[in-house]
Every structure is written in structure tokens, then in C-alpha cells.
Amino acid sequence: MLDDTLFDDPARLVEADGRGLLRQAALSGAQVRAAVETAAEKGLDDLAELRPRALVLLARPGVGDGVCRVLAALLGPACPVPVVIADSAPSWIGALDVVFAHTDDGNDQVLAESLSRASRRGATVVVAVPQDGPVAAAGAGRATVLPPRLPVPPELSFGHAYASGLAVLGALGLLRTDTEALADALDRESERAHPDNDVLVNPAKSLALRVAEHTPLLWGIEPVGAAVAAHGGFAFGCLAGVACDVADYHQAVTRTALLRAASSVGSEADLFADPDERGAGALRVFLVRARQDDRTEAVERAAVRDLPGADLLSPDGSEQEDAAVRAGVFAARFDLAAVYLGLASGTVNGPGWPALAVH
């Protein structure tokens, strides 16, 4: 059962958070800085000389799947290099290709075999993985390994994986991101999400309460938003035990029965509405937009018109100018909200509940 009074009592929150997940979730900015520093030390600048036939993003279980989706969406159809997302190295992998992968499981045999094959065939391989284990060893000294420097649970490692991938894209000249601005924005998000801040000024607590006792429909207005929404679905499922529907908005609206049900949902803007009146498990739509341009704003206006009760997660403040920054901030907000909701519902060491091991 949800104990939402926990959000108003910082001392109880800290006491309930036996694994220190709130503190570790607040380290996303530090993860970005550490990953960028590691990439610089490993000499990724050498990638600037490459003109790859294809960029292969190996999406392995965990946060890596969402990271690969976000990276591919940021590149978009205008990318001069074909971008392939796969769970293992394609059969055609060769010396003209660049491979990026992330995992927190150093014993991932599928990934180890993929990296070994890619390295043998001369592909350029960069992996954000633990320093020890079969995966790191699979490159046989030919792969560039970017190990995490900050020990955080695997479910909260988005910052390291994301910054490592952005470093690869930047070195290849495919996407330039101000990673210091990203880290600063993540630090601001963590400050706003501090346990001492109440719901009205804490975006993570606010999001957690809006998700609580609902079935969230996380619908991305545009590809980057949809990719970040996929990470949000992972975070809520992993940390709060909440099953989410995740879809691109254009695909979501073709499911007419679900759309009809979603469009009839009230706005419920009042965070303090009586849960008995709205019904536990009721649908709640969240429209996610990370990229800002005239076309996506037009789609957003149409979506809000058709779904007047939807919650809108869109750029604000200093994060207006860079989709990569906004995507990182939204991912961090989902992580923090999922931790808050997990603490209040007892799925991650909450009051009166046993701690659940998250691998």
C-alpha cells in the first residue's frame, strides 16, 4: 500500500531509504562528469578520423536499452551514418563499423561473444562496462573500455551509459553535446528533487504522486521523448513495481479503444485528490517531449486538445535549448520519481516491507 505521507517527512524518507537510493540517484551529474573524463583519458578523439559504414548500438538488458534508443533518436534520420540498434552484433559486422554497448553485467555472455566477434573482424568497439569480467576481456585488448567510476546500483547507471554514448557520438562528429551543461542541469534536477523539498517544488515527488495508484501511459510526442519514456517505463517497473504503457504518440493514437479510455480521464491536477474517488489503477497519460521545434509543438498542442486530462512533461527553464540535455534531465527525473514511489509503496526497502534485491 502507498504511504504518501512519507513524502512530507524527510527524516522518515531517509530512514526508509536503507539502500541510499535517493542519494545515489542524485549522482547522475557526477556520473556524466566521470564518464566524460574517462572517455578523454581513453583517447576517443581518435574516432574523429573514422567514417564508419554503420554505427551499431548493442542494446543489452537494463538501462542500456533505453540509452541506445535515446542516442539513436537524437541522431535521427538526418544522421549521415546508418544507425543500427541490435541486441547482439549483426552477422555483417566488419572493419568499417563502430560498435557501442553498455552493460552493468560484466558476465553478459551474449555481449561478450558479440564484442569478441566484432573485434576479430576489425570493428571499432567502445564499451561502457565494468573493468573486470568476460565482457571487458572480450575485446582482447582491441576494444576501448569505459568503466564506471562511481559505484551506483545498475538500475541507476543511466548517467554513465548516456555520457559514454554521447562521447562516442561526439568523437565521431555525429552529435555535439555540451556535457558540462548536461552535468550542471542534472545537478540542478537533483537539488530540486532533494528530500527536504516539498511536493510543490520537487518535480520527482510530484511525478511520483501523479503516477501513484495509476496505470501510467507514457507517450512520447516525438522520437526522443518516446525513447526517454521507454527509460521511464523501465525505471518505474524496476524500482516501483509499476507497469507502464510506453509508446510513440502517433502509434498510441491508433489503438482506438485505449485512446478512447485515455481521453475520458480527468485532469486530476490536484495532487491531493481523494484516491477513492479516482479509483486505484486508473489510467493516466503522460505526454513526453524532449525535442523542441515547430512541428513537435504542433503535435503537442493537438495531443493536449485530444487528451485534456494528460500530464505534460516538456522542456522548461534553461533546458530549452538542447534535446540531449533535456533527455538526460527527464531520465533523471524518472529515476528519482521511481525511487520516491518505490519507497512510499515498499518496493525498495519501504516502511513495513522487506527490501527487494534489484539486479
Average pLDDT, the chain: 89
User: 259, exposed or middle or buried, with CB in 10 Å at 0-12, 13-18, 19+?
Assistant: middle
The mean pLDDT value for 319-331 works out to: 86
* Strand 245-248 with 282-288, pairing: unpaired
Place of cell 568503466: 147
Q: What are 101's strand-pairing partners?
A: 58, 127
pLDDT reported for residue 172? 95
pLDDT confidence tier of residue 222, bands split at 50, 70 and 90: very high
pLDDT bin (cut points 50, 70, 90) of residue 105 is: very high
In the chain, the percentage of residues whose pLDDT exceeds 70 is 90
**What is the C-alpha to C-alpha distance for residues 136 and 115, in angstroms, rounded to an integer?**
9
Is pLDDT of 241 > 90? Answer: yes
Q: What is the pLDDT of residue 359?
A: 36
Above 60 in pLDDT, residue 271?
no
Mean pLDDT computed over 164-192:
96
Please say if the pLDDT value at position 115 is more than 60. Answer: yes
* Cβ atoms 125, 193 nearer than 8 A: no
The grid coordinates listed for 171 are 568523437
Q: Please say if the pLDDT value at position 274 is more than 80.
A: no
Confidence of residue 61 (pLDDT cuts 50, 70, 90): very high
Does position 315 have pLDDT exceeding 80, yes or no? no
Q: What is the pLDDT of residue 355?
A: 39
pLDDT at position 349 is 61
User: Which pLDDT score, from 0 to 100, does residue 317 have?
Assistant: 57
Residue 32 scores a pLDDT above 60 = yes
At 269, is the pLDDT very low, low, confident or very high (cuts 50, 70, 90)?
very low
Residues 118-168: pLDDT tens digits? Answer: 999 999 999 999 998 899 999 778 899 999 999 999 999 999 999 999 999
Of 187-201, 222-236, 277-291, 341-355, the poorest mean pLDDT is in: 341-355
Residues 6+ apart with CB under 8 A from 131: 145, 147
